[in-house]
Structure 1
Amino acid sequence: MDKIVIEGGFPLNGEIAISGAKNSAIKLMAVCLLTDQPIKLTNMPRLRDTRSMAGLLEHLGVQVDAGEGDEMLLNAETLSSTTAPYDLVRKMRASFNVLGPLIARNGSAKVSLPGGCAIGARPVDLHLKAMESFGVKIKLEEGYVIAAANGGLKGAEITFPFISVGATEHALLTAVLAKGETVLNNAAREPEIIDLANCLNAMGAKIFGAGRSQITITGVSKLSGVNHAVVPDRIEAGTYALAAATAGGSVRLTNIRSDHLGSLWPLIAQAGAKVSLDETTVLIERGGGRLKAVDMETQAYPGFPTDLQAQFMAMMCLADGTSIIRENIFENRFMHCPELSRMGADIDVRGREAIVRGVKELKGAPVMATDLRASASLIAAGLAASGETHVGRVYHLDRGFERIEVKLGNCGARIRREKE
């Protein structure tokens, strides 16, 4: 097992190119199940999660050519199986989203209940209720969802009781081949939803309103192949922006959609770093002097992303004053707090709120990554801390960040990967 070793206390200076979005790429890979024609995805990140999804698709009979660079070719001309086994689905929650496309393609499917990061219950109830709205019969047996739509999928009006990115994406993937019209109410509005809809529309789907709270889908009988570029990863961009503000220095982020992080840039500026941006680049600069405490709460898009909460907290650990960070999305997403405290942070967790009293210095320590985004917060803290930090269990990190030690190393970070 690998670990990341960081010698902290050195500012970051340089340029970082942002990869394609993990949270979009995985769902875009599932699109191949909806057509017998080839799919070409570009700006694809090379991650543990995309490899896991590729392994699942190959099990189903999809020809996957990841090749070199940022391209991936997917061809599901024929499928050899409609069963997604536990050993493959447990590695990543998003792989559960093959259920709807398999039903749309073959009329039935058997998919294991998912795994993934332990940051909350994140039940699949909304997914299954959406499937039932399309006329799918669902049975749960021995940890598997056994689903069939013998009469074919039928359009439906679905109102989500709360906003769910995964359920919205899953319903989109299913509705495009359903007969008639589907209306999704209280739909998620994330850029990754728009990216998925854009790809499906380019294949011949009829999706209207993606990026709004109501989405309308008119089902079609067939989808064609497509060449599609994955949207830049706003969470990776925000992570590096926060790392630069935390450690200090001057970092330019390229291949970015700056408008996708409208809730982040004002908070970084309030904390004392300079933010200069245009449509595709962002420059983060911070010289001497302490950061300033800023309160923050996570919200569904376009609010502050829950996937940047831990990284924001790492920055606030060194701020002058007290900040209150409220987590409104997941009920168990403060597991990084004890690890940051090992480095000298002063954090008091009270339910869904964390009270962070900034300290003048963090000190390097051995810490353990508890989930994907927590991993990144420990990296950022280690960059700013004095001494050496060892971040263990970085397989979490590899799920969502492409060559993080290389990208940071190119900006002057003293960071390396070692075997534990």
Structure 2
Amino acid sequence: MPESFLYFIWQYQYFTTTGLTTTDGETVQVLHPGFRNHNAGPDFTNARLLINDVEWVGTVEMHTYTSDWLTHRHQYDRAYDNVILHVVWQDDRSKNSRRGERTNGTALPTLEVNSVISPALLDRYAELNHSPEWIPCAGRFREVPPLKITSMLDKAMLQRLERKAANVLDVVVQTNGDWEETAYRLLAVTMGFKINADPMAQLSRTVPLKAILKHRDVLVQVEAMLFGTAGLLDDEVDEYVTTLLREYRFLAAKYGLTNNRMAAHEWKWGRLRPANFPTLRLAQLARLVTQHASLFSLFVGTSDVDRLLKALQITPASYWQTHYRFGKATEQASSSLGLTSALAIVVNTVVPLLAAYAHHRGQPAYIDRAIRLLERLPAEKNHLTERWETLGLGVQTAFDSQAAIELYNEFCFPKKCLNCQIGAALMKG
């Protein structure tokens, strides 16, 4: 039995709580189970128990087996000296064998719980844990009260914002606190649209925004730095590429870009629509960073979602009106960065940036703005949101779709049903 199940039944006291005794026959009454500790140390803190009518206040530790206390070497760790009860699924040690003890040698009261849990609860847990459905609760999802679902989606969305904010703050550290450079790097990754996110990230680290802004009045020079460093200017297939190569050689020497030049094979082209080709995305990125004097001000200072979306829907250089790749002309290319891409930038760049800035400044108002943006944007449409809708989950806004994605990725797929309010409701029965 996994320890996560023990955490669950202890936190909610889903077992027979009357007539409890330790493995030594001491009576146990739970006055308060304590609070789940997600950091290092015992599993529950500030628990209050009556053991043989003596009140104890301290921590509670959970293990599948009694012997796990020794296996994990807690008997040598003073952080576990304030454990007042050892809760185990099975006591696997005989009365004559050494039991769990603190660093000072005092024995721990041990409570075995496998015999005081309802068989029906175990059946419901097995049903969720071994479900063959795409999410464990798919067959019973409609049984859950809507309020529980809404509450869980809110929790998932806030968790997603916190996680993304932490990732952004890591980039802030990498850029030595430069929020402009951070905004540029986040934008580049988003414009890689998953399949080319990694090479976009590498490129944005190699070609700094500071160098780009020195040439923002000459778009072809910015394109030259990006395309050349990306390793996409190998052949002089037409006059435009020749111009880019000439500019790149000068600028690469000026900014020391040659040694960090990427290889063309690092970019993915397969199964991509021409509108998602890396060449076109880089051309759009070049236009975006040169059209706006401050990406950070645009992303963090614009509260009007329509204005923000309009500012993002740019058209790259004229060459890209008839090209998706160098040297291969087409009658008319759909080169503008459209509404769908602009929406993706707001969701995956602007919102995480706002969440991170809220932490940095200690101003929750930026989190509120991020949430309002998500609530005003339409939901993302993909196979995952479509599957959620088949279960009756209304996915109408970007807040809904982001929450649904987080719920699946962080709770449903890894089967963390016991950490989910929806799963907990179904377990309760």
Q: TM-score, normalised by structure 2?
A: 0.28
Q: Which has the higher helix share?
A: 2
Q: Which has the higher strand share?
A: 1
Q: TM-score, normalised by structure 1?
A: 0.28
Higher relative contact order (CA 8 A, sep 6+): 1
Considering only CA atoms, is the larger Rg found in Structure 1 or Structure 2? Answer: 2
